[in-house]
Amino acid sequence: MRTLHITRNFPPMIGGMERLNRHIAEQLGLRGQTHVLAGAGARAAAPEGVEVTEIPMGSLSRFLLQSAIHARRIAGSWRPDVVLAGSGLLAPQALWAAQACGAHSAVYVHGLDISVPHPVYRALWWPALRRVRRVIANSASTAELARRIGIADERIRVVHPGVSMLGSTPDAAQAFRRKHGLEARSLLLSVGRLTRRKGLLEFVSDALPRIVAARPDALLIVVGGEPAQALFHKGVSIEAIRQAATAAGVETHVRFLGRLEDEELMAAYLASQVHVFPVLDIPQDPEGFGMVAVEAAAQGLATVAYASAGVVDAVRDGVSGRLVKPADSQAFAAAVLEMLRAPPDADGVRGFAADFAWPRFGERLLDALAEP
């Protein structure tokens, strides 16, 4: 199968959607010819054997215009079988390019790219999403959002994002603890961009004091930074979280490590005791899936999360962690303390993650794209 993959979210940009789109290109490239149309720097980050056309990022409007022109040109000359948009934002480009060569159009949707409240987006992009031949949702929750805006059920398939099962080592985990002076602490790990939806501000204010009262050795380590180049995310500043920690009396129990390279991040997962994922239930800003919970599980680290939107697909309660009622900070703190006392079996946690391994993702994605 020949696939033209159009995406704004691709390395060297940093984030879960960027990693996902790179793996989409990799998995499609292993199964057929793949051409990626993405932003500047994409060629150096692309998988081997995948052709890349770069577009200067510039403003959003310029990127959208340039991607439409280039996608139509590539489709007309290269004649792919499928034109795949890496998010709902580029669904119109996928439709227009597919029409140039009689290809099938497809889009991988993430949640926010459907529910974004902007009236212009809804007026122009929702009709395009309804016309795309195949809409691939990252979770059952995102699939339901697609149905609510009028996308026909027979066009929707759910394909969860994948995960790398390559693990870190105990030596690397110990080195991580020594490097950051964490040897004597019980580590709670938060990973991801500091957006409003992630709920870290509320966790620090409401749940962390309860945890620290019972476990004075507990330390929250925060990996990630404030969102950059995000279209719709509302960020929360590090300073705001620090102020919340000070007000709650837990300022010495929070440490910000910034962004980490993949190898050190894997060591952080292995060095930690609990991954905390206190995602807020915000209707117009849903958590489409929760990839970071599966990444933690791949390293044997269980997650405590609120049962919000697509998170319920990324955490299996009682197997890879605990799901608690949204906004119940007391129950969240109790689940973290329970996990510190009696961690789940790491092999069982990894076993849950294994079903999301990238090769399986690739098979499911190809099946969804190839279906008549």
> What percent of the chain is predicted at pLDDT more than 90?
86
The pLDDT tens digits for 280-319 are: 988 778 899 999 999 999 999 999 999 999 999 999 999 9
> What percent of the chain is predicted at pLDDT more than 70?
98
- pLDDT for residue 94 is more than 70: yes
The pLDDT tens digits for 307-362 are: 999 999 999 999 999 999 999 999 999 999 999 999 999 999 999 999 999 999 99
Domain ranges of the chain: 3-162+357-370, 170-354
Angle, in degrees to the nearest 10, between helices 346-354 and 291-298: 130
Mean pLDDT, the chain, whole residue set: 94
The model carries a pTM of 0.91
| CATH class as words, domain 170-354 | alpha beta
- pLDDT for residue 233 is more than 70: no
Kindly report the CATH number that applies to the domain delimited by 3-162+357-370. 3.40.50.2000
pLDDT at 58: 84
Distance CA 346, CA 352 (A): 10
Q: pLDDT band at 62, cuts 50/70/90?
A: very high
> 3-162+357-370 and 170-354 share one CATH topology?
yes
- pLDDT for residue 232 is more than 80: no
Rounded to an integer, the average pLDDT of 191-209 is 93
